[in-house]
A = this chain, B = another copy of it.
Amino acid sequence: MNKAAPNGRPRARSSVTIQHIAARAGVSTATVSRTLANPDVVTAKTRERVLRAVAETGYTPNVAARNLRARRSMMILVVLPNVANPFFAQVLRGVDDELVTAGYDMIIGNLDNLVAREARYVRLAQAGQVDGVLLMTGRIPKGDTRNMDDLGLPMAAVCAAVPGLAAPQIVADDRGASIAVAKHFIGLGHQRFGYVSGLQGNVNDVQRYAGFLEGLDAAGVPREAVTYWPGDFNLRAGVEAARAFLTLAERPTAVYAACDEIAIAFIKTVSDAGLEVPKDVSIIGFDGIEFAEFISPTLTTMRQPRYELGRASARALLEEIQDGGTGERLIELPAPMVVGDSTAPPRPGR
């Protein structure tokens, strides 16, 4: 038992080790280990004595020692673009629920949208700190010497597909949902369209834009009928796109936003400028965040099954860990439309 360390030395922790338990129960350390890992393999009497000793002392096995010896950590690394983004918070809950049941915990690898931060987590993974990696970033984290996919570590991707990754990928059907958006607008009679993008180059954004164009194209809408405003996945982008929209002489009557935040900010901005939604302009968002139904007008949006995305991906990752990698496979969950009051036919004559 070491005493209070003055200068940054490790303080006293749970100082009771497997040795103490062994001594107290009058058995070997191996028996203690067995009792804890596999109770049925020891006699009832032994088990009882060991467990009593454990209870009396409040013993908990040292994880570092166990990890070192057993070569596993029961930890999963979750790499995500930005912890502050509420979207991922929901997904994380699904991930956590699934991991906890399997006895795993999660380490958060927050990139804060900075590519430079990737290397840190590659290092962490390479150091044997985790048993698996869940990618929410849509790309393979780059390390100093090796990349995340070069570690022989079980992986899975969620939310954003990673091109060329040989691992399970669980994503929403961005393209299909976006085709549905186009169809919905077309069905209402719109003829001039706008798209406010998410982060440039983001896989989801690319898919959504592509799907939207595809859907419009199928209805014979020419590409020139679509105005594109670049953005990112934040509220600010909606404000800026709306301002650009307002300066237009001949405005689109139907705008598709890459996420709900953008859509909500767009609505707010054009409303403040005196336009009416949906009479003057219809808007559809993406994600189906909770706030969508608490603004006025309520937002028409494509609902991503965030919790289920989290669960499914965690489950897939656990399977990778257990089965040693059943490997590549793409699971696309549908993102159904939730119709709100932000969409309507265009004003006559528009």
Contact = CB atoms under 8 A, between A and B. Distances in A.
Interface in A182-204: none
Contacts of A84: 89-90, 92-93, 307
A151 B107 CA distance: 21
Given A14-B151, A89-B89, A129-B63, A296 B271 contact: yes
Contact of A126 (B4, B14, B323): B14
Contacts of A126: 14, 58, 60
A264 B67 contact: no
B62 A127 contact: yes
Given A13-B152, A71-B10, A294 B323 contact: no
A136 to B, nearest CB: 13
A73 B83 contact: no
Interface stretch (A97-105, A209-217, A225-233): A97-105
For the complex formed by this chain, how many copies does it contain in all?
A: 2
Interface residues of A, number: 81
A1 B169 CA distance: 25
Contact of A105 (B63, B105, B124): B124
A92 B96 contact: no
Nearest to A122: B60
Given A83-B93, A295-B295, A62 B5 contact: no
A123 interface: yes
Interface of A: 1-8, 10-14, 37, 55, 58, 60-65, 67-68, 70-73, 75, 82-86, 88-90, 92-93, 96-97, 100, 102-103, 105-110, 112, 117, 120, 123-124, 126-129, 145-146, 151-154, 235, 264-265, 268, 271-272, 290-291, 294-296, 307, 321-324
